[in-house]
């Protein structure tokens, strides 16, 4: 009894009931407090996750939880969290919920990730609870099939790993590069077009290679990761030269056996990853489907087509946003060239077209980072050095242009001529040697000093005509993936994020740097920059300032539309402290309270679900308190009204709360009743330039003609979101009906000329 009397969660429940809150709402709020990591630290005392779990699951709130409360959001997510952890046991909890609320238990099991953890003690508890409900028993049979399928794929992968266990990380990258030129590199493109975004199959292969890289790094010695010219030479002589230059001789057997084994290893890794993403993660996080057992097979049944369509629609939105920012970059580029034609002139004259595209791509990423993510023109690299963002972006885009033109397109030409990928690679390498001793191998390497020297030429400005080696060094660090540091972290079993290959595409092996032309040449550098800063660099000291700049940018745009805005207002603090309000805006009878969240670009349903149930769920709770605080203050605080140029008899009567998030996931869903909308959608709606989402001048489709830009301008009246002029009412309608994304507008292009 003593423990329960001092239990934080029981105390909170008692206070809520004492305040007149109903039992159902009180349980939901206690569950929310648990999910939000409360109780908050007192002084230096901070509960561990295990201690917090122990408190919550031993509380009377849980022990006496009404059956219908388990189906509500907070307790459902809490139950999923219980099933996903192992240290804390709540005696007979699972059995009780199976008896009283089986549907809630089944949903929690799906969301817990238990599907890939059959040895968890929670899985044993679920088996014991199966006797309480046939639906739970059937769930256990489904989980058994998942577990068997997962075991089979893991066993197959481990068997293939054993065939390559003796290879170094660099050796594996050699075979990965040979595999890429044989399987992944397109055979039918030219270097004249902008770099294509990586397709789904390519991304799957890159992800598989990232997993294999982590496997090798976890077992690699520090000395093997500090490459020298001698160690690189030995690897090339043993693993690359026999394939490219000694094909058909008796000395090539080992290399081709390893290459064949690598093919099998990649197939096994892809098979496991696809099983996890398309089956296990779909089971866990795709509420639009359910898995039904048919004997020893599982079949997918679609139960909510709209939910599944939303995920696909969000992907299409990202593609259109990519085009939107490219068109914005073209407009900015034209202005820059008009002001100073020599601004963008870099590199050799024969590469002018590719370099111009690189410049446009860099402007595209910079505009997006600046306006949608609040990133300043200078950022800090992991080394602590200040980096000019545009020059960092331009350096990567120029690398991409170089690899696309001189490696991938050149390889495609030679494949077309020879019909053999090995012959094409051989000719590519030999032609590089004849053309100034240039490295045209399937992967490239250089010293850090050499790479800095190359990048220095891309940092030339009027004030520094010879470039800036220190800036070049910082830019290189910005894009560097440190193999030694990652290996040390993995071997210490420390938590941390592993970069995707495209996010930091310069692989650092001590003083040597390795690049993969088949990645860098086709990757999406805009997404690379966003995730470099917002995923890998989320804890940078600049992140807070970036969020403030997003808020300020939205405020400026709203003010151009007649809104009166107020940033970062702090309401009076009470027991339910709402915290700082990011943005308040008023126009006519409408008041907007906007909560801004800045995160990264996700690629999986698991990541999207976690974002929904953590960041966005909490944002909804925060916004509820903030809207209430602003509404109360609007009626009683003359100082707040004065800041918004309002009088007591001219206060807004219609209040709106929106969550503005940099990510596209869960777009237009509601959290605690409040609409979640992307920052970019708000920007486009306020700028009224949604026509740029539809490639109006055919730049991306390859249909551009110089004489059609004027026609595109004159047709903008047909695309405006505000044909009767801007108003708060129409702005709300535009956002709530997703008018920015109206696909019907896409039919208004001029058809491509025949």
Checking if the pLDDT of 519 tops 70, the result is yes
Determine the 3-state secondary structure of 604 from DSSP.
coil
Among 283-297, 305-319, 441-455, 688-702, name the one with the lowest average pLDDT.
688-702
Higher-confidence position of 88 and 465? 88
Among 210-224, 372-386, 543-557, name the one with the lowest average pLDDT.
372-386
Contacting residues for 445 by C-beta, under 8 A, at least 6 apart: 227, 232, 439, 512, 513, 514, 515
Averaged pLDDT, 612-625: 95
Cis preceding-peptide flag for 39 (omega within 30 of 0)? yes
Percent of the chain with pLDDT over 70: 90
Contacting residues for 502 by C-beta, under 8 A, at least 6 apart: 198, 206, 519, 523, 524, 527, 528
Handedness of CA 666, 668, 671, 675 (dihedral sign): positive
Pick from 659, 681, 680: which is nearest to 671 by CA?
A: 659
Percent of the chain with pLDDT over 90: 74
Checking if the pLDDT of 643 tops 60, the result is yes
Among 376-385, 602-611, 742-751, name the one with the lowest average pLDDT.
742-751
What confidence score (pLDDT) does residue 750 get? 28
Measured CA to CA, the distance from residue 81 to residue 192 in angstroms comes to: 51
Among 66-80, 110-124, 684-698, name the one with the lowest average pLDDT.
684-698
What confidence score (pLDDT) does residue 460 get? 84
Contact 169, 483 (CB under 8 A): yes
| Tokens read off for 80 | 């999923």
pLDDT (tens digit per residue) in 10-35? 999 999 999 999 999 999 999 999 99
What confidence score (pLDDT) does residue 195 get? 38
Determine the 3-state secondary structure of 377 from DSSP.
coil
What confidence score (pLDDT) does residue 513 get? 97
Checking if the pLDDT of 751 tops 50, the result is no
* Phi, psi of 176, rounded to the nearest 5 degrees: -60, -40
Checking if the pLDDT of 250 tops 70, the result is no
| Tokens read off for 578 | 């709402």
What confidence score (pLDDT) does residue 45 get? 77
What confidence score (pLDDT) does residue 538 get? 84
Measured CA to CA, the distance from residue 260 to residue 276 in angstroms comes to: 25
Pairing mode, if any, of strands 674-678 and 670-671?
antiparallel
pLDDT mean across residues, the chain: 89
533: part of which helix (H) or strand (E)? none
Domain 543-748 in CATH 1.10.3470.10: no
What confidence score (pLDDT) does residue 249 get? 61
Higher-confidence position of 708 and 509? 509
For the chain, what's the residue count? 754
Single pTM value for the model: 0.90
Among 159-173, 184-198, 270-284, 662-676, name the one with the lowest average pLDDT.
184-198
DSSP symbols for 648-717: TTS---EEEEEEEESS-TTTT-EETTEEEEEHHHHHHHHHT-GGGGG-TT-TTTT---GGGHHHHHHTHH
Going from N- to C-terminal start, the domains of the chain cover 2-144, 543-748
Higher-confidence position of 315 and 3? 315
Pairing mode, if any, of strands 512-515 and 506-509?
antiparallel
Checking if the pLDDT of 288 tops 60, the result is yes
Among 91-95, 370-374, 632-636, name the one with the lowest average pLDDT.
632-636
Checking if the pLDDT of 706 tops 70, the result is no
pLDDT (tens digit per residue) in 493-514? 998 889 999 999 999 999 999 9
Averaged pLDDT, 379-394: 88
Higher-confidence position of 332 and 42? 332
Averaged pLDDT, 665-671: 94
What confidence score (pLDDT) does residue 682 get? 98
Burial status of residue 527 (CB atoms within 10 A of its CB: 0-12, 13-18, 19 or more): buried
Handedness of CA 530, 474, 402, 207 (dihedral sign): negative
What confidence score (pLDDT) does residue 43 get? 67
| Tokens read off for 703 | 């249909």
What confidence score (pLDDT) does residue 753 get? 27
| Tokens read off for 384 | 């602590």
């Amino acid at each position: 009894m003593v423990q329960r009397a001092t239990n934080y969660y029981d105390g909170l429940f008692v206070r809520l009931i004492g305040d007149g809150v109903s039992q159902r709402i009180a349980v939901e709020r206690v569950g929310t407090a648990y999910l939000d990591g409360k109780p908050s630290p007192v002084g230096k005392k901070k509960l561990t996750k295990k201690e917090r779990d122990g408190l919550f699951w031993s509380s009377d709130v849980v022990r006496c939880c009404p059956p219908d409360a388990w189906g509500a959001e907070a307790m459902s997510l809490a139950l999923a969290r219980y099933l996903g952890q192992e240290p804390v046991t709540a005696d007979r909890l699972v059995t009780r919920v199976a008896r009283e609320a089986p549907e809630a238990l089944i949903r929690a099991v799906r969301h817990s990730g238990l599907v890939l953890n059959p040895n968890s003690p929670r899985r044993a508890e679920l088996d014991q609870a199966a006797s309480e409900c046939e639906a739970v028993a059937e769930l256990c049979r489904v989980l058994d099939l998942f577990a068997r399928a997962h075991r089979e794929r893991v066993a197959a992968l481990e068997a293939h790993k054993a065939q390559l266990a003796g290879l170094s990380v660099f050796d594996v990258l050699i075979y990965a590069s040979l595999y890429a030129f044989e399987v992944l590199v397109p055979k039918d493109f030219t270097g004249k077009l902008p770099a294509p975004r990586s397709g789904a199959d390519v991304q799957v292969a890159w992800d598989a290679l990232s997993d294999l890289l982590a496997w090798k790094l976890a077992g690699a010695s520090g000395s093997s990761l500090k490459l020298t010219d001698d160690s690189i030479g030995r690897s090339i002589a043993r693993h690359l030269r026999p394939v490219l230059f000694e094909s058909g001789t008796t000395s090539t057997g080992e290399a081709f056996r390893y290459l064949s084994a690598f093919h099998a290893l990649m197939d096994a890794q892809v098979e496991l990853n696809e099983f996890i993403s398309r089956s296990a993660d779909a089971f866990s996080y795709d509420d639009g489907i359910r898995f039904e057992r048919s004997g020893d097979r599982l079949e997918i049944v679609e139960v909510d087509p709209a939910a599944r369509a939303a995920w696909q629609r969000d992907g299409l939105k990202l593609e259109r946003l990519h085009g939107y920012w490219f068109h914005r970059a073209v407009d900015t580029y034209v202005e820059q060239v008009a002001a100073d034609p020599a601004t963008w002139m870099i590199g050799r004259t024969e590469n002018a077209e590719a370099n111009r595209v690189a410049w446009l791509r860099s402007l595209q990423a910079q505009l997006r980072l600046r306006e949608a993510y609040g990133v300043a023109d200078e950022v800090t690299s992991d080394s602590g050095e200040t980096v000019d963002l545009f020059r960092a972006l331009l350096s990567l885009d120029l690398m991409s242009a170089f690899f696309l033109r001189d490696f991938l397109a050149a390889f495609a030409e030679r494949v077309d001529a020879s019909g053999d990928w090995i012959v094409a690679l051989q000719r590519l390498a030999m032609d590089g040697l004849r053309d100034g001793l240039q490295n045209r191998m399937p992967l490239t390497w250089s010293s850090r000093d050499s790479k800095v020297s190359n990048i220095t030429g891309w940092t030339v400005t009027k004030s520094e005509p010879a470039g800036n080696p220190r800036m070049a060094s910082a830019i290189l660090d910005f894009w560097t993936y440190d193999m030694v540091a990652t290996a040390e972290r993995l071997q210490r079993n420390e938590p941390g994020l592993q970069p995707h290959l495209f996010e930091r595409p310069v692989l650092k092996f001590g003083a040597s740097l390795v690049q993969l032309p088949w990645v860098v040449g086709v990757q999406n550098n805009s997404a690379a920059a966003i995730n470099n800063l917002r995923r890998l660099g989320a804890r940078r000291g600049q992140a807070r300032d970036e969020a403030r700049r997003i808020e300020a940018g939205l405020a400026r745009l709203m003010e151009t539309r007649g809104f009166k805005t107020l940033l970062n207002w702090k309401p009076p603090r009470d027991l339910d402290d709402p915290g700082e309000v990011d943005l308040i805006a008023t126009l006519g009878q409408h008041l907007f309270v906007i909560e801004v969240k800045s995160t990264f670009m996700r690629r999986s349903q698991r990541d999207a679900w976690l974002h929904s149930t953590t960041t966005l769920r909490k944002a909804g709770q925060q916004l509820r308190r903030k809207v209430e605080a602003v509404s109360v203050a609007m009626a009683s605080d003359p100082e707040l009204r004065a800041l918004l140029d309002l009088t007591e008899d001219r206060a807004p009567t219609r209040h709106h709360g929106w969550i503005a998030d940099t990510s596209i996931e869960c777009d237009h869903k509601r959290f605690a009743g409040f609409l979640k909308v992307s920052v970019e959608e708000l920007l486009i709606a306020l700028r009224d330039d949604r026509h740029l989402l539809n490639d109006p001048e055919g730049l991306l489709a390859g249909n551009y003609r110089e004489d059609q830009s004027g026609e595109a301008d004159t047709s903008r009246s047909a695309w405006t979101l505000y044909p009767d002029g801007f108003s708060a009412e129409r702005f709300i309608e535009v956002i709530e009906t997703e008018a920015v994304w109206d696909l019907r507008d896409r039919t208004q292009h001029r058809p491509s000329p025949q």
